[in-house]
Amino acid sequence: MYIKWLEIYGFKSFCEKTRIEFQKGITAIVGPNGCGKSNITDAIRWALGEQSLKILRAAKQEDLIFAGTEKRRSQGFAEVSICFDNSSGILPIDYQEVVITRRLFRSGESEFFINKIPCRLKDVYEIFLDSGLGKDGYSIISQGRVDEIINAKPVERYRIFEEACGITKYKYRKEETERK
């Protein structure tokens, strides 16, 4: 499984629709300080359902929407789509390509889509359980995260191992069942 492409519109510093195509293997994104490299990983996290503004490096939700510059008007909404190659069938959905989309309006209204079909955050969360990409996933390691993992209390580090071992899904289902 890999990301085939990413489309970012109105998210943080991405004013116009920007499409980034990825190949299998390693991609390095380079550029001067402040040009928006980290905003790309923020966009990926956000589209996958990240709820923590701290992790997204924003003080409030609206900071996720392009704020405008002297020359460009601000945007009314932010939208990010990620296309995953699912030919290996890792994601439990019967499609070779899975496109996850998240949209946020200035009013605070937020929407999720899986292959253009409206869905809930919960649906996105469930698709990525055990893939390492989910809520407690480890596939995006930001600056400082390595130190955090090393210095974490055993019980916190345990969560990462649970996700890697594929236990998270069962714990999640157990909690869901108990709630009903």
Tokens of 93: 């959905």
13 is in an annotated binding site: no
Which tokens hold the place of 80?
A: 């990010």
Find out whether 38 is annotated in a ligand binding site.
yes
Minimum Å gap between C-beta 55 and ligand ATP is 13
- Binding partner of 63, given ligand ATP, Mg ion, none, CB within 5-8 angstroms per partner class: ligand ATP
Helix (H) or strand (E) holding 90: none
Ligand-binding site membership of 166 (annotated): no
Q: Which lies closer to ligand ATP via its Cβ, residue 45 or residue 134?
A: 45
Tell me the two tokens of residue 34.
Answer: 């402040």
Which residue, 110 or 157, has its beta carbon nearer to ligand ATP? 110
In this structure, the dihedral spanned by the alpha carbons of residues 50, 51, 55 and 56, taken in order and rounded to 10 degrees, is 80
Smallest distance, Å, CB 107 to ligand ATP? Answer: 16
Q: Is 165 annotated as a binding residue?
A: no
Structure tokens at 177: 């069942």
Q: Which does 88 bind (CB under 5 to 8 A by kind): ligand ATP, Mg ion, none?
A: none
> Rg for the chain (alpha carbons), in Å?
17
Tell me: is residue 34 an annotated ligand-binding position: yes
Question: Which is closer to ligand ATP, CB of 4 or CB of 37?
Answer: 37
CA separation, residue 8 to residues 38, 79, 119, 179, 180 (Å): 13, 6, 19, 36, 37
| Residues from 4 through 63 that contact Mg ion (CB under 5 A) | 37-38
Q: Which does 110 bind (CB under 5 to 8 A by kind): Mg ion, ligand ATP, none?
A: none
> Which of 12/102 has CB closer to ligand ATP?
12
* Torsion sign (Cα): 59, 62, 66, 67: negative
Point out which residues bind Mg ion (CB under 5 A): 37-38
